[in-house]
């Protein structure tokens, strides 16, 4: 009996090296992969239903990706990651709240909407330095280390004057001194599958900002905290950012459309294949 191929819709905007790895991995498996450039789609729920068993969201644009996932889920097609996960991960405040709710060690944080409250909050966080981040954003962009009250006033004024409504929500996080690196852990379907160090002499350690990817051995504690963070966010395909501190690991952020080509390069773990295998396990029967 011929096995039916799983039909996966790869939702994308521009195609990066990560998506190329997914395309290559699909060719090695019994997968019928359809590339769907969401920029070119008309999302009409009354039009013919797409013949897909599952969609894999890999859009570089969060707004476009979330709308596309909402559309396919509304048609009864499961998505990786589901909208419920995207909603938590695309907003750092929501991510942090989910981590706290599930008792996952993470840096202290607050959200405030004005300067006066922000100044009070810094004291609550233990004083300067602190880190201000946009509630939505990635690749370490517009992240600012604030060393004193003067810098806080300047950055908040700029955010209020120049930024859109999202920038008027001040997400402020305790500054964590890192050993020149952080750790990106990949969790797929509840399984911790790979980790890399992201090493940099700069305090921002995103590979998008030039940090070097180095293979990281996953010890018991790292596996435990990554799994716990994954459980807090929901089962899916997650990139979890972890800091090493004197008191143990803490989870900084969780990403829902993680880039992984550097992880594959330095660890040899077939992340693309694991993502597709996970998608097949969720496909509509």
Partner 1 sequence: MNIQCPICDASFEIPASSEVAEIISCIECQNKLEVVGIHKESAKADVKEAPKVEEDWGE
- C-beta of 119 vs 261, nearer to partner 1: 261
Nearest to 56 by CA among 119, 112, 6: 6
Q: Residues with Cβ < 8 Å from 5, sequence gap 6 or more?
A: 30, 31, 32
- How many other β-carbons are positioned within 10 Å of the β-carbon of residue 261? 17
Q: How far is the CB of 171 from partner 1 (least distance, A)?
A: 15
- How wide is the angle at C-alpha 69 spanned by C-alphas 67 and 72, nearest 5°? 110
Q: Which residues bind partner 1 (CB under 8 A)?
A: 12-16, 19-20, 23, 35, 37, 60-64, 136-139, 141, 164, 239, 255-259
Q: Which is nearer to partner 1, 11 or 122 (CB)?
A: 11
Q: What are phi and psi of 55, to 5 degrees?
A: -115, 145
CB-wise, 161 or 217, nearer to partner 1?
161
Residue burial 13-30, b: 16+ Cβ < 10 Å; e: rest? beeeebbebbeebbeeee
- Closest contact distance (angstroms) between CB of 59 and partner 1 is 9
Q: How far is the CB of 284 from partner 1 (least distance, A)?
A: 26
CA distance 187 to 225: 11
Minimum distance of partner 1 from residue 16's CB (angstroms)? 7
* Shortest reach from residue 149's CB to partner 1, in Å: 28
CA distances from 51 to 71, 72, 150 (A): 14, 11, 57
- Closest separation in Å from C-beta 129 to partner 1: 24
Hey, which residues does 112 pair with through a beta bridge? Answer: 170
Q: Of 37 and 73, which has the nearer Cβ to partner 1?
A: 37
- Chain-centroid distance of CA 242 in Å reads 12
Minimum CB–partner distance for residue 212 and partner 1 (Å)? 18
Which is nearer to partner 1, 27 or 247 (by Cβ)? 27
Nearest residue (CB) to partner 1, 178 versus 256 = 256
Nearer to partner 1 by Cβ, of 16 and 191: the residue is: 16
- Measured distance CA(76)–CA(139) in Å, rounded: 32
Q: Are strands 31-37 and 6-12 parallel, antiparallel or unpaired?
A: parallel
**Do residues 257 and 81 make contact, with C-beta atoms less than 8 angstroms apart?**
yes
């Amino acid at each position: 009996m011929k096995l039916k191929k799983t039909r996966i819709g790869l939702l994308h905007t521009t195609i990066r090296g990560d998506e190329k790895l997914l395309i290559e991995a699909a060719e090695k498996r019994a997968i019928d992969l359809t590339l769907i450039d969401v920029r070119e789609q008309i999302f009409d729920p009354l039009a013919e239903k797409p013949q897909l068993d599952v969609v894999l969201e890999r859009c570089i644009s969060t707004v476009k990706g979330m709308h596309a996932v909402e559309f396919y889920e509304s048609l009864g097609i499961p998505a990786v990651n589901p909208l419920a996960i995207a909603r938590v991960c695309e907003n750092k405040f929501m991510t942090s709240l989910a981590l706290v709710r599930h008792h996952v060690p993470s840096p202290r944080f607050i959200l405030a909407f004005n300067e006066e409250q922000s100044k009070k909050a810094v004291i609550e966080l233990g004083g300067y330095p602190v880190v201000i981040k946009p509630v939505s954003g990635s690749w370490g962009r517009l992240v600012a280390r604030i060393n004193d009250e003067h810098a806080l006033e300047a950055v908040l004024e700029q955010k209020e004057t120049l930024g859109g409504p999202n920038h008027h929500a001040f997400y402020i996080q305790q500054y964590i001194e890192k050993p020149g690196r952080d750790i990106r852990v990949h969790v797929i379907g509840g399984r911790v599958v790979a980790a890399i160090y992201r090493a940099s002499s700069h305090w921002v350690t995103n590979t998008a900002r030039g940090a070097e990817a180095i293979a990281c051995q996953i010890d018991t504690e790292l596996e435990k905290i990554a799994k716990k963070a994954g459980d807090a966010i929901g089962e899916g395909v997650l990139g979890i950012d972890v800091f090493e501190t004197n008191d143990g690991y803490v989870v900084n952020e969780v990403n829902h459309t993680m880039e992984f080509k550097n992880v594959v390069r330095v660890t040899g773990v077939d992340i693309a294949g694991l993502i597709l295998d996970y998608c097949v396990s969720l496909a509509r029967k």
